[in-house]
Amino acid sequence: MVYTKFKFSLNTILLCIFLVSCTDNKVGVPNYAGNYSKEDGGRLINAMTGEPSNLIAMIAGDSASSAIAGNIFNSLLKYNEQLNYAPEIAESWDISSDQKTITFRIKKGLTWSDGSPLTSKDVMFTWKLVTNPNTRTPYGSDYQLVKKATTPDAHTFTVTYEERYAPALDTWASLHILPEHLLKNEDINNTYFSRNPIGSSYYMLDDWKSGQQVALKTNPLSINGKANINNLISRVIPDTSSQFLELTADNIDLMSINPIQYQRVFPNRTDLTKKISLYKEMGNGYTYLGFNNKKAPFNDVRVRKALNYAIDKDEIIKGVLLGLGEPLSSPYKPGTRWNNAELKPYPYNKNKAISLLQEVGYHKNDNGFLEKNGRVLKFEILTNQNKQREMTAVIIQRRLKEIGIDVSIRVIEWASFINQFIKTGEFDVVLLGWSLSLDPDQYNIWHSSQQGPG
């Protein structure tokens, strides 16, 4: 498996994510400060557009896999409700005065769901695994910055960095610790464990029906204690319209709805507002157009800039998101300290786009298409089964045709999309999205040093 890193066009669009939960309460903003009685048991059914590729998050690289695996595995630490670091596998941690060494103290008495002890040996094993050049992961760079790791005893894990590294704690809050006793003789890139994992968190795998659903049940040996909900079921429903029908029929309990449903359907359906609560917030995700820079003509920055100028981002926001989105100039959430407010998105300017392409050597042929050395400028946009991305691709296709670029669109089921195209690097352009973490370090996603295996 080879990860081909490709730069994203700066015509990214921040999506607003809308959470819908079935309830008998009236529509409105919930009072989070109120007191509510807790009811244990039952099951929660949600929908996901793509099926997990596997349940080892470090090699999966997709949100569906990470979401499911997050209910099965633990990290050394986590974020609490106030977005502060809180203990999980580690009960505490100390940072040295030079801020280069972190000492984690592992809780005693922890076990995996098969009853085996969870110790610092598992943490060390996981660190070696994620930094192994043979492990096909896009996340290894953060942990390769550690120059030394030690386990003085079964309940202590210490890492020392070559230089101070600000996101260090955040990286340990996102790395799922894996069991050494089950994986030490396994090829992590091709192991049974990816579909039959043993974890330590609230849940364990109950059933996985390919193409249908992934079901989790409570883990009686969870290091977090007993889960309040007995069963979590994630149904694979690629089409959000179908998800919505399942929601209104009470067959799923929650989903993220699209702008059309939020802006047009709910205001006209009082029957729905009586049983479904809507929650809206600025999302942590963005959609991007990604180019395979190992292929011509995308290896020429002037071509990438021309495509950016040729796409009307406001048209996409109004047409696809019904105004519920913002154009971006970097992969960070507007208004946060990581975003550079001085950077502005590329404006729509097709004359500038044509000028850049002419500079590269393209000219219009008799059929109105741009060509260079007898070859027409054409490429294929790949995207997964996602109506918003499909609509976005159609708008992009139309705008690029206006300046003489022949664009085709292919929509692929998620697992095939990842395995046949992304992992092999056999694509021209992709239309995809990324979700930002709470400390949104994008180095291992977009930095050019992260190309190639790993």
Question: 7-46, pLDDT tens digit by residue?
Answer: 333 333 333 333 333 333 333 445 555 666 778 899 999 9
- Tell me the C-alpha distance between 35 and 55, whole Å: 35
Q: What is the pLDDT of residue 10?
A: 33
Is there a common fold for 50-236 and 283-450? no
Q: What is the pLDDT of residue 140?
A: 92
Q: What are phi and psi of 192, to 5 degrees?
A: -55, -30
- DSSP string of 40-83? ---EEEEEESS--S-S-HHHH-SHHHHHHHTTT---SEEE-TTS
Q: Looking at domain 283-450, which of 3.40.50.12140, 3.50.50.60, 3.10.105.10, 3.40.50.740 is its CATH number?
A: 3.10.105.10
Nearest alpha-carbon partner for 243 in 14, 23, 20, 418? 20
Pairing assessment for the beta strands 378-384 and 429-435 based on DSSP bridges: parallel
Which residues are CB-contacts of 310 (< 8 A; sequence separation ≥ 6)? 348, 350, 353, 399, 400, 402, 403, 405
Other beta carbons less than 10 A from residue 181's beta carbon:
15
Q: What is the pLDDT of residue 11?
A: 37
Angle CA 370–373–377, to nearest 5: 30
Tokens coding 335 = 């208004």
Q: What is the pLDDT of residue 28?
A: 44
For the chain, residues with pLDDT lower than 50 are 1-29, 453-454
- Tell me the C-alpha distance between 253 and 340, whole Å: 38
Complete edge-to-edge strand list for the sheet that includes strand 90-95 = 90-95, 101-106, 156-161, 146-153
Q: What is the pLDDT of residue 452?
A: 59
Please state the domain extents for the chain.
50-236, 283-450
Q: What is the pLDDT of residue 307?
A: 97
- pLDDT tens string 117-142: 999 999 999 999 999 999 999 889 99
Average pLDDT, the chain: 88
Other beta carbons less than 10 A from residue 21's beta carbon:
16
- DSSP string of 319-372? HHSTT-EEE-SSSS-TTSTTS-TT--PPPP-HHHHHHHHHHHT-EE-TTS-EEE
- Tell me the C-alpha distance between 418 and 403, whole Å: 31
> Topology of 50-236 in CATH?
D-Maltodextrin-Binding Protein; domain 2 (3.40.190)
Q: What is the pLDDT of residue 12?
A: 35
- Dihedral, CA of residue 231, residue 235, residue 240 and residue 242, to nearest 10: -110
Q: pTM for the complete prediction?
A: 0.67
137: left (phi over 0), alpha (psi -120 to 50) or beta: beta
Tokens coding 169 = 């704690």
Which amino acid belongs to residue 92? S
Tokens coding 216 = 């989790």
- Tell me the C-alpha distance between 454 and 440, whole Å: 20
Give the helix/strand (H/E) hosting 208: strand 203-209
Cβ burial, residue 258 (10 Å; 0-12/13-18/19+): buried
Are 379 and 361 in contact, with CB atoms under 8 Å apart? no
- Dihedral, CA of residue 256, residue 259, residue 262 and residue 265, to nearest 10: -120
